[in-house]
Structure 1
Amino acid sequence: MAEYPNIADHGLIGDLQTAALIDTQGTIDWFCAPRFDSPSIFGSLLDADRGGFCRIRPATDDYVTRQLYLPDTAILVTRFLTEEGVGEVIDFMPIAGDEATDRHRIARLINVVRGTMSFEGEIQPRFDYGRAAHTAAASPDNGIKFTGGDQSLTVHRVGDVITHDGQRAGRIELSGDGLKMYGTLSAGDSTGVILETGGAEPLRVQVEELQAMFLETTRFWRDWSNRSTYRGRWREMVNRSAITLKLLTYAPSGALVAAPTAGLPEQIGGERNWDYRYTWIRDASFSVHALLGLGYEAEAEAFVSWLTDRVQESAGDESGPLKVMYRVDGSSDLVEERLDSLGGYRGSAPVRIGNGAADQLQLDIYGEAMDSIQLAAEHGLQLPHVGWTEVGRMLDWVCDNWDRPEEGVWETRGGAQKFTFGRFMCWVALDRGIRLAEAGGRPADIPRWRAQRDAIYTQVMTKAWDAERGAFVQHQETTVLDASVLVMPVMGFISPRDPMWLSTLRAIDEELVSDSLVYRYDPAASPDGLRGSEGTFTLCSFWYVDALARSGRLEEAQLTFEKMLTYANHLGLYAEEIGLTGEQLGNFPQAFSHLSLINAAVNLDHQLDR
């Protein structure tokens, strides 16, 4: 089997419409264009032989690599250290703007900072997840354009570099259906390439132009980072998580994708390989707390506006007025299919695109949506009349449907149940609706909403409580624990010092916590319709930190949080899950992981300061 980098061995760059992953060897092995959810152009992360890549590295096998972000930016620096010298590949994407475009650029600036270094590079695009054949055309000025199906990739050569002894530093040449690059540079020399989608003509770019792009992109990210109001104990990790959330935001609509990747496995060799390049109502709604907690009101406002549009559309089919997830433009065509063109990360098949969970009934999404809308209202973003009217209709639907069996927060495929998380999040939906109506003098059937809210509370406190276990359980027909109940005190459903809650937290300590890491549930005890197992869930681990802090276990909360920081990759990034030996598993980086880190840090700071 071909070699694959570890999932953790990657950094993320992006232009706020799409993104690319670059490993510690200087290889771009994941890039989709023109949007996050578009077909891949480089996909060797999911098939090292057939997926396509862009690689730049020293022309020797004897080197050491180090990788870092330029501070307070999304500019990635991969450093190569050899006996002859030290070189850098600086990767970034100039910001694409707020209007949807097919033009996206990846800039790869090559510098030698000490001694001398010979580089070699290779670009092998594979369009449409490797399903589309392509052509390559070279121009006299050394630009090369690849075209495959509806996609194209232009490689712009960055000038001619003349070394200190007057020699030309490198060359680019076609090689089969790709290209290869060679060059030797000394300290102070710079060259590079720009990869551009969207039909640009081949041309040569001067080094000065590339450096100007670099400065402009640096300025954008530092200006954005400086807007953060966070001044707590974990500023570096919180800021990196904030930048990651920004990178996962589609600027033209304000929607946040769950992750920029598809098909990365929750278990190596297993079938839990999902496409996360979409906007989940749940994940993105939770991000509103994180963004507002750091002072990013414009980003929170943009998402709530997108969410309000979805509420106003109100599909109203069997799965409810809201879909579980949407594409970044608000469309909901997410038919799930298997890709035979890609073999999967380390043989983890099938690779899926689209997501069949989009049409599931997941009742909790109404609680997350209403909580984010109500929180935004507290920060001055009021719903328009039409928006409030549709919210009212949505909450009337919740009144009629909250007691239905559903698939639940974890999108299991083992059959519908009356999940505890879905129930108490319906309580949240009605509670936040009542608050909005009363605070704003809006018309609403408050007596009905209040009656149903109270009925949900009574049911959860009686039927979801297992007296023998001394804990709230996953659903009414089981004794299995579920980490999703960690959100109950966060949402105000129960006091964090309530004896029933403290007993539940102790049960979770004993059954779901491994060091600082938390499992969602035990798949063996609660069949979810899928083969295999999974790692601990990073979101749940940070929820656990928050729950410990609110429950007065501050020393444990701080230690658990500090331990969680040791599981980040070398750049401070997290996938969805963490395996038995600390490896990152699942799609990467994961918005849920980073927004929960931010929320845990902000609350832990608050509790410690008190």
Structure 2
Amino acid sequence: MTDFPLIADHGLIGDLQTAALVSTEGTVDWWCAPRFDSPSVFGALLDTERGGHLSTRPTTGTFTTKQLYLPDTAILVTRFLTTAGVGEIVDFMPIAADRDGTTRHRLVRLVRCVRGEMTFAFHLAPRFDYGREQFRTHANDDGAIFEGPTSTLRVRLIRAPGDEHLGRSTVDSSGDVHGELRLVAGQVRGLVLETGPGTLDEVPVTEALRLYHETEAFWTRWINRSTYDGRWREMVNRSAITLKLMTYAPTGALVAAPTAALPEQLGGERNWDYRYTWVRDASFSVYSLLSLGFTDEAAGLARWLRDRVDEQAEKGDGGPLNIMYRIDGSSDLIEETLPHWSGYRNSAPVRIGNGAAGQLQLDIYGEAIDSLYVAHRSGLSLGHRGWVAVRDLLDWVAANWSQPEEGIWETRGGRQNFTYGRLMCWVALDRGLRLAADYGRPAPLDTWREARDAIYDEIMQRGWSPSRQAFRQHYETDVLDSSLLRMPTVGFITPGDPMWASTLQAMESELVTDSLVYRYDPAASPDGLRGDEGTFSLCTFQYVTALAAAGKVEKARFTFEKMLTYANHLGLYSEEIGLTGEQLGNFPQAFTHLALIDAAVTLNRQLDNARR
């Protein structure tokens, strides 16, 4: 295995605590266990030689592959078409909470021959702790155990009585296991990968099929709770399932993406670890999930956010929130590089952890308080303890909104007075005032109102560029920034205001290309990093929302439809789109999929209104 598959040539499976990527050729080349942010078991996505993988493919010299999800589920089917027959690999992860109350993580790979006769070769090559942990391999007729000092992976064969003749396996000098499965039409066999210690015994086919049907039932029941019945139901459902796959069930936290260090530019250094929960992403997700009727998931995220606010209040130091946390709420995200890994298509450095965790980003307060306000309007109440924590947080915002910060895009070129950060501080105070009025709770309303109005006046005076006739990225530049597409969405300015119309026009002339939207121009606004980046898919979907809100409904629809053509074969998006349409950055990205949902809901509503 020497070639890197394209980032887009993958599907995602998961058990609501961790997730894996499976390529279109049936290779599991990314899996961290037991949690999203745990060290890797398979990491070939970032180093094909040293990362580790599970591959299963026909022994026939040439074959064609097709990949799809079982409709309305997270069960992934990879089909192989050969001259000898047609076969399938069906990959899924049973939901982590087991019947006996224990938690284990299982990756089930069913291998079946659909037509003709086929022989599948499999290669099991785990590499624990990003390839840094040595292991020993123990194999027998029922499977294999890979055991290191801190990690264990059991691989159990899915078999039926009399299967001894179906294949054989060997262990090579690296401790990898190679084997074959010879199948005829109608036969189903495969592998079950389990983390942690336990027995090594075969898995009956009937048990594997039971897990399959239970997993199918879970996902179909879950997606049937969606209230969305608009024009783009298939894409919206897939985005909702993808967001659910990136949710850590024990805490309700949502990771930004299940991957780390996938590059925003091939060969560049913009390679970040996204396996954590950003306050910003979690806040946006509350709104997106509520718009589809997923109140339990939205409530879980709102509770996670409230807990972070509570923890900050309990510290009593008056300091700001972190911009991101681990999925359990801890904040140890020390950034390091893996020099022994080459990186995706030689895009080094490979980073794990995230050094931006300690940055000051003022926008997160607006997003967090706005999400609590949206949750409140949807019937999710805020108790006394939660209100006291929110009040303390807003007191901090009222006293600190005017300081320079690193901004939403986590630039590493120094702090600035970013317009978007000011905008979201305005949102935080505005929503706080509304919450206080709705709940009748005590609050320093005059102080908050004074700060809110001061922010409004400052943005209109210093955030506006007379030469560009547009709102600008920060006060010391005339560079445009697509984060400001949210100005009318949050109610700061009306969509028909001439100042907003000229801002939107300026963005279209400078940041939009073939309907795709750049965050900003890094050449005009140095961000402390080398190289360029692709268009940012979140911003493209937010552009659709802005167009629809401005009454440009048909243009918004065409832009949205064009953006759908950039999805991969399964309807998944990474963070960015490159010059030739390739997916770049961590994959799939929650930010992009929640923005797709928002755009679809808004655009569908506007189209319905236009036809009445």
Map residues 130-145 of structure 1 onto 2, 5 A cutoff: 130-139=131-140, 141-145=141-145
Which residue identity does 2:310 align to in structure 1?
Q
2:175 aligned with 1:174: no
Which residue identity does 2:49 align to in structure 1?
D
Q: In 1, distance between residues paired with 2:202 and 2:252? A: 34
Q: Secondary structure at the match of 2:168?
A: strand
Kept in 2: contact 1:16–1:97 (CA 8 A): no
Map residues 113-132 of structure 1 onto 2, 5 A cutoff: 113-132=114-133
Kept in 1: contact 2:55–2:122 (CA 8 A): yes
2:475 aligned with 1:476: yes
1:561 equivalent in structure 2:
560
Which residue identity does 2:126 align to in structure 1?
P
Q: Secondary structure at the match of 2:182?
A: strand
1:194 equivalent in structure 2:
192
Kept in 1: contact 2:260–2:351 (CA 8 A): yes
2:20 equivalent in structure 1:
20
Q: Secondary structure at the match of 2:456?
A: helix
Deviations 1:518-543 (A, max 9, x none): 00000000000000000000000000
Q: Secondary structure at the match of 1:495?
A: coil
1:270 equivalent in structure 2:
268
Q: In 1, distance between residues paired with 2:484 and 2:454? A: 18
Farther off after superposition, 415-424 or 146-155:
146-155
Map residues 520-531 of structure 1 onto 2, 5 A cutoff: 520-531=519-530
1:54 equivalent in structure 2:
54
Q: In 2, distance between residues paired with 1:186 and 1:428? A: 62
Kept in 2: contact 1:145–1:152 (CA 8 A): yes
CA drift of 1:181 comes to 1.6
CA drift of 1:341 comes to 2.8
Aligned length: 606
Map residues 197-236 of structure 1 onto 2, 5 A cutoff: 197-236=195-234
1:516 equivalent in structure 2:
515
CA drift of 1:579 comes to 0.2
Q: In 1, distance between residues paired with 2:35 and 2:432? A: 34
Q: Secondary structure at the match of 2:189?
A: strand
Which residue identity does 1:41 align to in structure 2?
V
Which residue identity does 1:420 align to in structure 2?
T
2:251 aligned with 1:250: no
Q: Which structure 2 segments of 5+ residues have no match?
A: none
Which residue identity does 2:301 align to in structure 1?
F
CA drift of 1:175 comes to 2.5
Which residue identity does 2:239 align to in structure 1?
S
Q: In 2, distance between residues paired with 1:495 and 1:482? A: 18
1:111 equivalent in structure 2:
112
Kept in 2: contact 1:37–1:327 (CA 8 A): yes
Q: In 2, distance between residues paired with 1:5 and 1:440? A: 53
Q: In 1, distance between residues paired with 2:594 and 2:340? A: 33
Kept in 2: contact 1:311–1:321 (CA 8 A): no
1:335 equivalent in structure 2:
334
Farther off after superposition, 383-392 or 358-367:
383-392
CA drift of 1:201 comes to 1.7
Kept in 2: contact 1:364–1:423 (CA 8 A): yes
Q: In 2, distance between residues paired with 1:569 and 1:288? A: 25
2:534 equivalent in structure 1:
535
Q: Secondary structure at the match of 1:144?
A: strand
2:307 equivalent in structure 1:
309
1:384 equivalent in structure 2:
383
CA drift of 1:162 comes to 5.3
CA drift of 1:171 comes to 2.5
Q: In 2, distance between residues paired with 1:319 and 1:417? A: 22
Q: Secondary structure at the match of 1:199?
A: coil
2:56 aligned with 1:65: no
CA drift of 1:477 comes to 0.3
Deviations 1:223-276 (A, max 9, x none): 001000000000000000000000000000000000000010000111000000
CA drift of 1:186 comes to 1.0
Deviations 1:174-222 (A, max 9, x none): 2331101202111101100000002122110101100000000000000
Kept in 1: contact 2:96–2:103 (CA 8 A): no
2:609 aligned with 1:591: no
2:182 equivalent in structure 1:
184
Kept in 2: contact 1:97–1:252 (CA 8 A): no
Kept in 1: contact 2:318–2:396 (CA 8 A): no
CA drift of 1:147 comes to 1.1
Farther off after superposition, 33-42 or 372-381:
372-381
Deviations 1:100-134 (A, max 9, x none): 97620000001111111111000000000000011
Using a 3 Å threshold, how does the CA distance of structure 1 residues 317 and 273 change in structure 2: closer, same or farther? farther
1:76 equivalent in structure 2:
76
Q: In 1, distance between residues paired with 2:388 and 2:196? A: 41
CA drift of 1:360 comes to 0.3
Which residue identity does 1:169 align to in structure 2?
L
How does the TM-score come out when normalised to structure 2?
Answer: 0.97
Kept in 2: contact 1:268–1:348 (CA 8 A): yes
Kept in 2: contact 1:34–1:104 (CA 8 A): yes
Kept in 2: contact 1:414–1:527 (CA 8 A): yes
Q: In 2, distance between residues paired with 1:493 and 1:60? A: 61
Kept in 1: contact 2:97–2:104 (CA 8 A): no
Q: Secondary structure at the match of 2:165?
A: coil
How does the TM-score come out when normalised to structure 1?
Answer: 0.98
Q: In 2, distance between residues paired with 1:209 and 1:105? A: 13
Q: In 2, distance between residues paired with 1:444 and 1:97? A: 42
Map residues 139-158 of structure 1 onto 2, 5 A cutoff: 139=140, 141-158=141-158
Which residue identity does 2:462 align to in structure 1?
K
Q: In 2, distance between residues paired with 1:194 and 1:175? A: 21
1:504 equivalent in structure 2:
503
Which residue identity does 1:246 align to in structure 2?
K
Q: Secondary structure at the match of 1:112?
A: strand
Map residues 598-609 of structure 1 onto 2, 5 A cutoff: 598-609=597-608
Q: In 2, distance between residues paired with 1:380 and 1:208? A: 44
Deviations 1:464-508 (A, max 9, x none): 001121100000000000000001111111101111001100000
2:233 aligned with 1:241: no
Which residue identity does 1:197 align to in structure 2?
T
Q: In 2, distance between residues paired with 1:68 and 1:105? A: 21
CA drift of 1:317 comes to 9.3
Kept in 2: contact 1:34–1:102 (CA 8 A): no
The two structures, once aligned, show a CA RMSD in angstroms of 1.5
CA drift of 1:173 comes to 2.8
Q: Secondary structure at the match of 1:314?
A: helix
Q: In 2, distance between residues paired with 1:494 and 1:399? A: 21
Using a 3 Å threshold, how does the CA distance of structure 1 residues 574 and 453 change in structure 2: closer, same or farther? same
Farther off after superposition, 370-379 or 319-328:
319-328
Q: Which structure 1 segments of 5+ residues have no match?
A: none
Q: Secondary structure at the match of 1:168?
A: helix
Q: In 1, distance between residues paired with 2:32 and 2:275? A: 10
Q: In 1, distance between residues paired with 2:430 and 2:354? A: 31
1:350 equivalent in structure 2:
349
Segments of 4+ moved more than 4 angstroms: 98-102, 160-163, 315-319
Q: In 1, distance between residues paired with 2:75 and 2:406? A: 40
Q: In 2, distance between residues paired with 1:171 and 1:452? A: 72
